[in-house]
Chain A
Amino acid sequence: MHDFAQRAGARIPAMADLNNYLPAIDIVGAAASVFGLGFTIYVLCVAKDAKRAAEAARDAALSAVRKRSLVEDLGDAVRMVEQVGLLIQRDEWMAIHMRTEEIVGTCKSAMARWGDALDDETRTGVMTATTMLQTIAGKSSEFGVRELTPAEKGKMVLTHLRASGLIHTALGEARRLEERNENNNAD
């Protein structure tokens, strides 16, 4: 007990000395607070910029996916349309029926999902092409049971050709959009 009192007593002058340093400690504390506030503001700004950049990157990625998917879907439709051209030449009506139905489905789904990227006229063209292809599908199911006349075949070839042209136009426009998008991203 005696020792403790002695030691505590010895400290009292040392704590009193600290009072001499209080103004300096206040200044350092205030400076640290100001620095802390500044740092916090800086972190907030950086975080805000990072969020904005992340959002822009996400939008660009989504846009690229959107255009690419439109190109891919229309590319698939064009490949199938080319096959239908050959199938008409070979009078393979069952295959024509199935392929044209597939094209109609692909085109309609592409227009519903990503069609707003295209011109109104081009979209109308694709929709008209699907209607034309449906008439080919309908007509081809008739030819399974009877021989077609040269005039009927000519009509089918012309319809296929025009529908093919309309879908090719849409694919061309979709590719152009995709290229423009890629160039903008590169810039």
Chain B
Amino acid sequence: MKTTMPTEKDIEFVQFLLDSTQKEKIQWQPSAKEGQFTTTLQQRYAVFMTKTTTDLITLELTDDPSGQELLSVRNLSIPQVEDLYEFVRRQALKVDSVLDQIMQGGLVITTARYGLGDHYVDVSQQLNDAITDDKLRVFVGNQLAGDPCPNVAKNLILEYRFRDQTFQRTVNEGETLDLP
């Protein structure tokens, strides 16, 4: 879609997104593409915010059922898009929570393997993402990252840091991991 001069409505829409993001009325999520975040409005419209390697930021609105692109604006035409991207990025990556975790020497999973013997999957990222307020409570099962060896009882072997100390734990499949 060719980007044209933004209309008053476009600017109003960017401001709406900015306000809603700051008030956490909209929940942004990361996408698999580098520098891209997404959310859904009114259970129908998908919004993408993408930052390229050349620092060009694009805001796109698409009609989800048809995939038709409805709007595409850039930070060059609407400066608020840059502020919006920063708020979106911080919310989607839980930056404030991570900063708190670092400053307070909070709970961090350093390694976590789910499986048995040589058949395992690395679930450290999953577990770190599930930490809330320095606590982790998660059911140990295939929902973590699929079943690395079917029809066999597996376990979760993890190493974590909490208040500058390192700990190790092994939890069997079907049990609940509760940290710290």
Instruction: Please give the distance in Å from B91's CB to the nearest CB on chain A.
Output: 12
Contacting pair B121 A162 (CB below 8 A): no
A sample of 8 cross-chain residue pairs with beta-carbon separation below 8 angstroms, ordered by A number, consists of: A125-B27, A128-B40, A135-B31, A139-B32, A139-B33, A140-B32, A158-B30, A161-B129
Q: A127-B40, A131-B46, A161-B129 are in contact. Are A89 and B31 (CB under 8 A)?
A: no
Q: Which residues of B contact A (CB under 8 A)?
A: 27, 29-34, 36, 38-40, 43-44, 46, 64, 121-122, 125-126, 129, 142-148
A85 and B115 alpha carbons, distance in the complex (Å): 13
Instruction: Please give the distance in Å from A163's CB to the nearest CB on chain B.
Output: 7
A131 and B49 alpha carbons, distance in the complex (Å): 13
Contacting pair B32 A159 (CB below 8 A): yes
A interface size (C-beta, 8 A): 41
CB < 8 Å: which of A85, A127, A154 contacts B43?
Answer: A127
Q: A78-B143, A82-B146, A135-B32 are in contact. Are A157 and B125 (CB under 8 A)?
A: yes
Secondary structure of the B side of the interface? Answer: loop
Q: Which residues of A contact B (CB under 8 A)?
A: 78, 82-89, 111, 115, 120, 123-125, 127-132, 135-136, 138-140, 151-152, 154-164, 166, 168
Q: A89-B146, A135-B32 are in contact. Are A158 and B43 (CB under 8 A)?
A: no
Chain A residues lying within 8 Å of B27, measured Cβ to Cβ, are 124-125, 128
Contacting pair A128 B142 (CB below 8 A): no
Contacting pair B146 A84 (CB below 8 A): yes
Contacting pair B121 A135 (CB below 8 A): no
Contacting pair A159 B121 (CB below 8 A): no
